[in-house]
Amino acid sequence: MPEYRAPLREQRLAMTAVGGLPRVNQLARHRELTEDLVDGVLEEAARFAERELAPLYRSADREGAILADGRVRTAAGMAAAYAEFIRGGWIGVAAPAEHGGQALPNWLAVPVSEIWRGANLSFALCTMLTQAAIEALARHGNASLQSVYLPKLVSGEWTATMNLTEPQAGSDLAAISTLAVPEGDHFRVRGKKIFITWGDHDLTDNIVHLVLARTPGSEPGVKGISMFLVPKHLPTAARAPGERNDVRTVSLEHKLGIRGSPTCVLSYGESEGAVGYLVGALGDGLACMFTMMNRARVAVGVEALGVAERAYQQARTYARERVQGVPIGERERAPIVRHPDVRRMLLTMKAALAGMRGLAYSAALAIDEAEEDGDGRASARAALLTPIVKGWCSEIAQEVASMALQVHGGAGYIEETGAAQPFRDVRITTIYEGTTGIQASDFVRRKLAADGGAAAADLLREIEEWLREAGPVLAPGAVAALERAVRLVQSATRDLLAASERDPAAMGTASVYLLLAYGTVLGGWHVARQALAAGAADAWGRARAALLAVYVDHLLPRVDWYVAAGRAGSASVMDFPLDEL
Ligand SMILES: Cc1cc2nc3c(=O)[nH]c(=O)nc-3n(C[C@H](O)[C@H](O)[C@H](O)COP(=O)(O)OP(=O)(O)OC[C@H]3O[C@@H](n4cnc5c(N)ncnc54)[C@H](O)[C@@H]3O)c2cc1C
C-alpha cells in the first residue's frame, strides 16, 4: 500500500457537488473544457504525485536542507523531481495563456494542487509560491517585467518567493523597514527578511523575490509600502541568469515540520544594494502583495486539506492492520478499526475532510467566476470565503492530524512509523500567510462589517434555499440540524456586529469563534451537497449519506459552542488582570 493515494473519487465528487463542469462551462474562458480533459489532468497528476513526490516525503524530512558556502542544497531527489514536474508543464496549469500557461480554471487547478500537497508539502510550497507570484506579476507588473520574468516563471525555469516578514514585522506589516532607494530605472534594496520559504535552493539557476519595502520619504504605515521584484541573478540581454545580485542567504531555520523546504533568512544590500524593480505603483505594495496573499491563503487551506488527507489514509491503513482487544459484542481479538472509539475518530476525520474539500473547491470556483463577474457577487463570495478556507481548514486539519496520530497509539509518537510527520507538517498552516487570529480579524472586520454582513447573508440564504429544495431527498434530521445551524450563525453575526459598537473588544475575542462557526456550517453544507450528488445507486454513494450523518452528529454541534463563546462578550477576558496571567 503506497503512503499516499490521490483521493480522485472524492475529489471528482466534490468538484461535481459545487457545480461541476456545466457551471464551469458557463464561463467564456472555460467553455471548451471537457470531462475527458478534467479526468486526464487529475489522473496524470495522481500518477506523478504517487510515483515521484510521495516517495520523497519522508526522506526529505529526515535529510532537510543544508546551507554551505552561501548556497542551499535541498534533499536528494528534490531537484530531479522538480525537473520532471516542470517538464510536465505543471507550474503553468492556471497561468494565463498569453504568458504560456494552460489557463485551466481554479476549479480544476486547486484539486490538482491538493494532490501535490498531500503527496509532499515541502516540495509543493515551492511551486505554490511561483504560481502566486505569476498571478501578482500578471496583474500588477509592467509589460517589460512581464516579458522578461513571466515566461521563466510559467515554465518553471525560475521559481519565486514572497518576502514580507522582518524580525519586527510579522502580522504587523506596517512595521516593515526594508528600504528601496531609486537609482535610474531601478531601486537599490537594503534590509533583512526572515522566514522566506524556498528563499534559496538548487532546483533552478535563478530565483525571483517579490519584496515589500518602503521608499525614502514614503508615508508611515502600510500606505508607504511598495512591491519590488529582486532577482537572485540579474538577467542578461538573452534572458539568462547573469550577474549575482546583492542578496545573500544568511541562515536556514530549524523547524518543527516542512523540513524538506528551506526557510531562509535573506539579507538584501549588504554591499552596493540589491537591484530591484517596482511592481505596481509606489505605495501600492500591500495591494499588489494581497493578490499573491489571497491566492496563497486559499492554497494554505488546501495544504491543510492535503496533509490531513494523507494523515487520515495512514491512520485508516494502520487501524485495519493493528490487532488489539476484543471489540464490544465480538469474541476474538480484532483490528482496532472495529472498536467504536477508533471508528469515531476515523469517521470524524473523513467527514471533516469532505467538508474542507467542498469548501476549498467552492472558493476556487468563486475565484473563477469572479474573473467574469457582472454584478460583483462572485468577487464578494471569493473574498468572504478566503479567510474561512485558510482559517477553518487549517484549524480542523490540526485535529485530523492529531486524531490520525492517536489512532496509531504509541506507534504514532515514534518517528519511524511516519504518523508524526503530517502532524508536525500541518502545524504551520494556522501560522503562515496570517495566523488564524489575523484571518478571523480580516473575516469579521473587512468581510462582515465592511458590507454590513451582506455577502455572508447572501451565502447563508443560498444554503437555506438549497436545504429547502434538497430536503425531501436527504435525511430529515440532517436537514433540520443544518437549517438550525444556519439560523444560529445568522443571528450570531447580527448580534456580534451590534455588540461590537458597545464593546469594541468583543470583535477581538469572538472573531475566531465566528470564523470557525461559519467554517463548520459550510463544511456540513458541502458534505450534504456531496451526499446528494453521489446518489444512492451503489454502496459508495450511500456511504456519502452516512458520512453526512457523522458530520451532523460529531462536528455540527460545535456551532452551538462557538456561538455561545462568541456571544459571551469580552469582559471575562479583558477584565482578567494581566499581571495574574
Ligand atoms: C515555516 C515558515 C515559513 C514562512 N514563510 C514565509 C514566507 O515565505 N514569506 C514571508 O514573508 N513570511 C513567511 N513566514 C512568516 C509568517 O507569515 C509569520 O510568521 C506570520 O505571519 C506571523 O508573524 P509572526 O511570526 O511575527 O508572529 P506575530 O505577528 O508576532 O504573532 C504572534 C501572535 O500574536 C497574534 N497577533 C499578532 N498581531 C495581532 C493582532 N493585530 N490581532 C490579534 N492577534 C495578533 C498572532 O495571531 C499570533 O498568535 C513563514 C513563517 C514560518 C514559520
Could you identify the atom of ligand 1 that is nearest to the CA of residue 434? 21
Q: For ligand 1, what atom is nearest to the CA of residue 171?
A: 29
- Strands 159-163 and 207-214, how do they pair? parallel
Average pLDDT over residues 182-192: 97
Mean pLDDT estimate for the chain:
95
User: Hey, which of 128, 165, 293 would you mutate to test ligand 1's pocket, going by the most ligand atoms within 8 Å of its Cβ?
Assistant: 165
* Geometric angle at alpha carbon 387, from 284 and 166, rounded to 5°: 50
Confidence band, pLDDT 50/70/90 cuts, at residue 2 = low
Q: CA geometry: angle at 294 spanning 290 and 300, to 5°?
A: 135
pLDDT in tens, 487-536: 999 999 999 888 888 888 988 999 999 999 999 999 999 999 999 999 99
Q: Does position 259 have pLDDT exceeding 70, yes or no?
A: yes
Task: Identify each DSSP E strand in 350-469 by its residue range.
Answer: none
* Among the listed residues 392, 458, 457, 456, the one whose alpha carbon sits nearest the alpha carbon of residue 429: 392
- For ligand 1, whether the C-beta of 434 sits within 6 Å is yes
Nearest Cα neighbor of 314 from 356, 357, 355, 349 is: 349
Q: Which of 433, 462, 501, 580 is catalytic?
A: 433
pLDDT at 504: 84
CA–centroid distance, residue 84 to ligand 1 (Å): 33
The residue whose CB lies within 8 Å of the most ligand 1 atoms, and thus the one to mutate among 163, 173, 195, is 195
User: Is residue 438 within 6 Å of ligand 1 at its C-beta?
Assistant: yes
**Which grid cell is 156?**
518553471
First CA to last CA distance, the chain: 49
In tens, the pLDDT along 9-64 reads 999 999 999 999 999 999 999 999 999 999 999 999 999 999 999 999 999 999 99
Closest CA to ligand 1's atom 12: 165
| Range of weakest confidence among 141-150, 188-197, 274-283, 451-460 | 451-460
433 catalytic per annotation: yes
> Which grid cell is 447?
468581510
Query: Model confidence at 451, in pLDDT bands (50, 70, 90)?
Result: confident
Q: Give the residue among 459, 455, 460 at the shortest CA–CA distance from 486.
A: 460
C-alpha cell at 402: 492529531
Taking the centre of ligand 1 as the mean of its atom positions, its distance from the CA of residue 75, in whole angstroms, is 26
CB atoms within 10 A of CB 155: 17
Is the full-model pTM beyond 0.95?
Answer: yes
Distance, CA of 82 to CA of 157 (rounded, Å): 10
Residue 227: pLDDT over 90: yes
**Residues ≥6 apart with Cβ < 8 Å to 400:** 308, 311, 312, 349, 352, 353
502 CA to centre of ligand 1 in angstroms: 30
C-beta 428 within 6 A of ligand 1: yes
Question: pLDDT per residue over 98-147, tens digit each?
Answer: 999 999 999 999 999 999 999 999 999 999 999 999 999 999 999 999 99
pLDDT value at position 295?
A: 87
Q: How confident is the model at residue 275, as a pLDDT? A: 98
Residue 130 beta carbon below 6 angstroms from any ligand 1 atom: no
192 C-beta closer than 6 A to ligand 1: no
Instruction: Write b or e for each residue in 460-475: b if 16 or more Cβ atoms lie within 10 A of its Cβ, otherwise e.
Output: beebbebbeebeeebb
Judged against a pLDDT cut of 70, whether residue 1 lies above it is answered with no
Instruction: Summarize pLDDT for 337-361 with one digit per residue, the tens.
Output: 999 999 999 999 999 999 999 999 9
**Is 170 a pocket residue for ligand 1 (Cβ < 6 Å)?**
yes
- Count other C-beta atoms under 10 Å from residue 145's C-beta: 16
**Count of other CB atoms within 10 angstroms of residue 35:** 10
| Beta pairing class for 241-244 and 71-73 | unpaired
CA 379/CA 376 separation, integer angstroms:
5
| Residue 242 confidence class, pLDDT cut points 50, 70, 90 | very high
- 373 confidence band (pLDDT: 50, 70, 90): confident
- For the record, the C-alpha cell of 6 comes out as 490521490
Beta strands in 273-403 (DSSP E): 274-279
Q: d(Cα 153, Cα 127) in Å, to the nearest integer?
A: 10
If one residue of 72, 171, 445 were mutated to test the ligand 1 pocket, choosing by the most ligand atoms within 8 A of its CB, it would be: 171
User: pLDDT band at residue 450, thresholds of 50, 70 and 90?
Assistant: confident
- Residue 348 contacts residue 403 (beta carbons within 8 Å): yes
Per-residue three-class SS string for 91-142 = CCCCCCHHHCCCCCCHHHHHHHHHHHHHHCHHHHHHHHHHHHHHHHHHHHCC
C-alpha–C-alpha distance, residues 167 and 221, integer Å: 16
